[in-house]
């Protein structure tokens, strides 16, 4: 009799354990289903934000105005998506930590999304070889969005300068030609100097390249080239367009046969 009662108790325990486990499984599946449904709704909203684009064919002030308007709209849309993802992770993270982990990974991609949007927006304005998605023709605030705030800023009556580690942008507005007239407002750099590792131009140029590697990257993109006058320098007018109506000065310094400095300058 005692053996029979013990067997019944064990069976009852196993049955209750099965019921509890099944209930937890069903609850977990239900939470995951609801999480996936809400996540899908948020990602659909993200697709709508990603459809915000600068109209083609704009130039000058019209392009700048469009960038100002649509950059604000794009950033605000991403911030709203970010808040929604944060709330989603906190809501379902209590049931399973994997939900919060997944939403945090999605949020990280949003931070770069606006940077890539801005790179595409300013690309038509850039003269000369771009570096990390920015260059001559960009406004200061656009450079700050893409590269982040500089480690040092200089602002005087005739000079504006942004300094990053191994990369400097500047705009000289006073070349001794103003004759006492007021200077124009600062817009963006008219030159940049690249000396640091870790940067790459739109044509693929990096510090440390050999002369042959540099010239290979610029094949078919130059209006003129002088790499013979002085073996330590390469002087070129860069313009990848067929009609060469947008030529821009570029100077390269070589040390021991390797590129140590790239200068892209209007003057």
Delimit the domains of the chain by residue range.
Answer: 2-124, 126-265
Give start and end residues of each alpha helix (H) in the chain. 2-50, 60-93, 97-122, 140-147, 211-217
Q: How confident is the model at residue 55 (pLDDT cuts 50, 70, 90)?
A: very high
Q: Answer yes or no: is pLDDT of 31 > 50.
A: yes
Q: Which residues of 84-99 are buried (b: 16+ CB within 10 A; e: fewer)?
A: bbeebbebbbebeeeb
Share of the chain above pLDDT 90, in %: 69
Give the pLDDT of residue 111: 85
Query: How far apart are the C-alpha atoms of 233 and 226, rounded to whole Å?
Result: 8
Say what angle helices 140-147 and 97-122 make with each other, to 10 degrees: 150
Give the pLDDT of residue 244: 67
Mean pLDDT across the chain: 87
Give the pLDDT of residue 51: 96
Per the CB < 8 A criterion, the answer to whether 168 and 231 are in contact is: no
Q: What is the mean pLDDT of residues 145-156?
A: 94
Query: How far apart are the C-alpha atoms of 196 and 179, rounded to whole Å?
Result: 37
Q: Which residue bears the tokens 């540099």?
A: 214
Q: How confident is the model at residue 22 (pLDDT cuts 50, 70, 90)?
A: very low
Per the CB < 8 A criterion, the answer to whether 251 and 128 are in contact is: no
Q: Which residue bears the tokens 């449904």?
A: 37
pTM across the whole model: 0.82
């Amino acid at each position: 009799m005692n053996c029979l009662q013990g067997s019944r108790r064990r069976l009852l325990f196993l049955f209750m354990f099965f019921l509890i486990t099944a209930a937890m499984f069903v609850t977990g599946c239900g939470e995951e289903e609801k999480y996936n449904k809400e996540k899908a709704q948020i990602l659909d909203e993200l697709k709508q934000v990603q459809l915000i684009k600068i109209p083609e064919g704009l130039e000058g002030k019209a392009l700048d105005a469009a960038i100002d308007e649509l950059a604000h709209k794009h950033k605000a849309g991403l911030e709203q998506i970010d808040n929604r993802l944060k709330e989603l992770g906190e809501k379902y993270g209590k049931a399973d930590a994997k939900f919060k982990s997944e939403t945090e990974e999605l949020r990280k991609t949003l931070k770069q999304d606006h940077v890539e949007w801005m790179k595409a927006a300013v690309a038509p304005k850039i003269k000369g070889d771009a570096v990390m998605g920015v260059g001559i023709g960009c406004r200061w605030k656009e450079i700050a969005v893409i590269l982040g705030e500089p480690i040092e800023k200089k602002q005087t009556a005739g000079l504006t300068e942004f300094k990053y580690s191994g990369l400097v942008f500047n705009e000289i507005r006073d070349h001794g030609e103003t004759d006492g007239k007021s200077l124009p407002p600062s817009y963006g750099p008219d030159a940049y100097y690249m000396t640091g590792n870790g940067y790459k131009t739109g044509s693929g140029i990096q510090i440390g390249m050999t002369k042959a590697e540099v010239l290979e990257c610029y094949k078919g993109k130059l209006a003129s080239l002088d790499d013979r006058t002085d073996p330590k320098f390469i002087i070129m007018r860069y313009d990848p367009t067929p009609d060469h109506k947008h030529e821009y000065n570029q100077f390269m310094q070589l040390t021991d046969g390797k590129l140590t400095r790239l200068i892209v300058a209007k003057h």
